[in-house]
Amino acid sequence: MSNTIWVLIELENGQPARSSLEVLGKAAKLGRAEAVVLGAAAAEVAPILGAYGAEKVYVHADATYDNYLTLPAVDTLSALLNDHQPRLLLLATTYELRDIAARLMVRNNLGLITDATDLAFAGEELQVTVPWGGENVVTATHPHQGTGIVLTRPKAFAVEQFDGRTPEVETLSVSINSAAQAIKIVDSVDVASEGPALEDASIIVSGGRGLGKAENFQLVEALAKALQGAPGATRAIVDAGWLPYSYQIGQTGKTVKPTLYVAAGISGAIQHLAGMKGSKYIIAINKDENAPIFSVADLGVIGDALTILPQLTEEVKRRKA
């Protein structure tokens, strides 16, 4: 019998999050994929999950999951896992799902592997690929013993299409304990940004400490805007307070895979490469010809980013005019 693999689907504005669909596609390639959707929009979302690989969907359409942080979902999932004991529960690494995974692990005494970039079965054993310290990779194994929980890295897998698949939908009748309604979401604020989100952008222009000072980051933003891309950053300049954490790309930031990644004033530390080396084309601008970023670059420009970035922006604008 094939392995049953559950995926918890996160909802964003009533739609399944792309990161959850990526994980669902991977689950469907590994075994029998079953999805769990919790939230006011769960019933509407359930039928469309077949096209992304789900053979069955467990649904609890209740706004409590949207209005209270994590605990209601942890209660419902704990009971479900206990009843059904799937081989695996996969979750995309997001703030909310990370929290849920950790609580499920502790409450149910289950094994949890984080930051996975690939999964495969070797007989009964699950082998999980986890990047470790930049370029190194370790294979963690999960013996067949209870449900294994795995948090996967965003963009590790592509969204897969399973045309014509119609999932069986099971509507759960669960009552949510009032004790789980402890952390109420009082407000949620969308971070205003002009261009595409960093995770979805097909062009990213990133800046690092080589820009010299925070005000010079506008040179990166201007090129990103001209290319209709998104600006990104290294940890060095996020830690320096130039930009919020949401801009950070790398091992402890976001993982991106754009078609084009422009790195300006970035040395190319392994922790930064871990988040962007899957980009299709990489252009590096650095005044040190020995900078490690050039080892992953398709095109290297040795020079001053403060001079080259505005020239590039003007040229892009001129050609687009």
Ligand X SMILES: Cc1cc2nc3c(=O)[nH]c(=O)nc-3n(C[C@H](O)[C@H](O)[C@H](O)COP(=O)(O)OP(=O)(O)OC[C@H]3O[C@@H](n4cnc5c(N)ncnc54)[C@H](O)[C@@H]3O)c2cc1C
Nearest residue (CB) to ligand X, 151 versus 291:
291
- Tell whether residue 171 is among the known ligand binding residues: no
Strands (E) located in 215-311: 230-233, 260-264, 281-286, 299-302
CB of 23 to ligand X, least distance (A): 21
Nearest residue (CB) to ligand X, 39 versus 250:
250
- Tell whether residue 235 is among the known ligand binding residues: yes
- Tell whether residue 286 is among the known ligand binding residues: yes
Residues near ligand X (CB under 6 A):
208-210, 234-237, 248-253, 265-267, 269, 271-272, 275, 285-288, 291, 304-306
Which two tokens mark 23? 């994980």
Nearest residue (CB) to ligand X, 190 versus 289:
289
Cβ contacts of residue 321 below 8 Å, gap of 6+? none
Nearest residue (CB) to ligand X, 143 versus 244:
244
CB of 150 to ligand X, least distance (A): 21
Surface-to-core class of residue 178, CB atoms within 10 Å of its CB (0-12 exposed, 13-18 middle, 19+ buried): exposed
Nearest residue (CB) to ligand X, 83 versus 289:
289
- Tell whether residue 255 is among the known ligand binding residues: no
CB of 246 to ligand X, least distance (A): 12
- Tell whether residue 290 is among the known ligand binding residues: no
Give the whole-angstrom CA distance, residue 12 versus residue 188.
12
Distances (CA, A) of 166 to 34, 42, 162, 308: 12, 16, 9, 53
CB of 296 to ligand X, least distance (A): 13
Cβ contacts of residue 186 below 8 Å, gap of 6+? none
- Tell whether residue 270 is among the known ligand binding residues: yes
CB of 93 to ligand X, least distance (A): 13
Give the whole-angstrom CA distance, residue 248 versus residue 304.
22
Which two tokens mark 11? 């909802």
Question: Which residues are documented as binding site for FAD?
Answer: 209, 234-235, 248-252, 265-272, 286
